[in-house]
Amino acid sequence: MISETFYHFGLVGWPLDHSLSPILHTNFMQAAGINGRYDLYPVSPEQNRQNELKSLFLRFRHKELHGLNITIPYKETVLGYLDNLNPVARDIGAVNTIYLHQNQLVGENTDASGFMADLKWFINNTQRLDKEEPKSVLILGAGGSARAIVYGLSRAGWQVTIAARRLDQAQSLARELSQSDLFPLYPIPLTPAALSNQIPDLIVNTTPVGMSPNIEASPWPAELALPSHTSLYDLVYNPPVTKLVRRAQEAGLNATTGLGMLVEQAALAFERWTGFHASIETKQMVKKLASDQIR
């Protein structure tokens, strides 16, 4: 598709120094034949973030912006600035994509669909996730990213356990996202004692622990071995091999970072903003370019 419109997109969050979003969306624009730019809007939580967020959304309403992505720590904070939420974002209680529809700011969540799409690829390329349904998953963290992952997995029939340093946060997430008594979510503390009892098919880290520049950090307790028959998915993608992924691979486990999810959720957001549907080949090309950037 070719458009004469000059699009202006961006990302809101903190920190954004190592964000790959400009690379992803610039290449999606090139693939779509679209003129535009993608800027970073770092908003420090320690400053008066309310004024900065209000200013950005006012520009959005004036159509100076055509699409925004939202990342840590604002996926839940921005809900109060929006006019409407699509059903998935409403159920999850967090947004990562914002667009203007009929002069209303609408929040959407492409994290859940993006994760499930990349998880499908991961499963198809691993021999460790070939058990019959239902599968079990242990989620590390209970923040905005966890909400989307729990939502996607629980509605796909996975048995979900949520481990968080603050047990009350895991309990709250379980209460809010549990579909029914037939599909309960199990909250536990993120402690060695509690984790030692877990033997999941899959572990998903949704925390930012291990993200650059703190690359020697890991959300999994150092004194506790990883379960022997599990696979691991770390949403952190920078560095290209996190300490958690490296440890899993050294233990003979299949493990991956969240770079694939990043590309998938970005492609869905870009499609919402422009109508351009990225092909598998385009997404693979964009993923390689992003991977080269962080090596």
List active site positions: 75
CA distance 145 to 148: 6
By DSSP bridging, strand 3-13 and strand 67-70 are parallel
Q: How far is Cα 264 from Cα 278, in angstroms, rounded to an integer?
A: 9
Longest dimension (CA), the chain: 59
Radius of gyration for the chain, computed over Cα atoms and rounded to the nearest angstrom = 19
First-to-last alpha carbon distance for the chain, in angstroms, is 32
For residue 287, give every residue at least 6 positions away whose Cβ sits within 8 Å of its Cβ, in sequence order, or none.
Answer: 259, 260, 263
Distance of CA 51 to the CA centre of its chain: 26
The two structure tokens encoding residue 28? 């999606």
**Cα 274–280–281 angle (5° rounding)?**
100
The answer to whether the beta carbons of residues 188 and 131 sit under 8 Å apart is no
CA angle 41, 46, 51 (to 5 degrees): 55
Beta-carbon contacts of 196 under 8 Å, excluding residues fewer than 6 positions away, are 224
Task: Give me the sign of the Cα torsion angle 107, 113, 115, 118.
Answer: negative
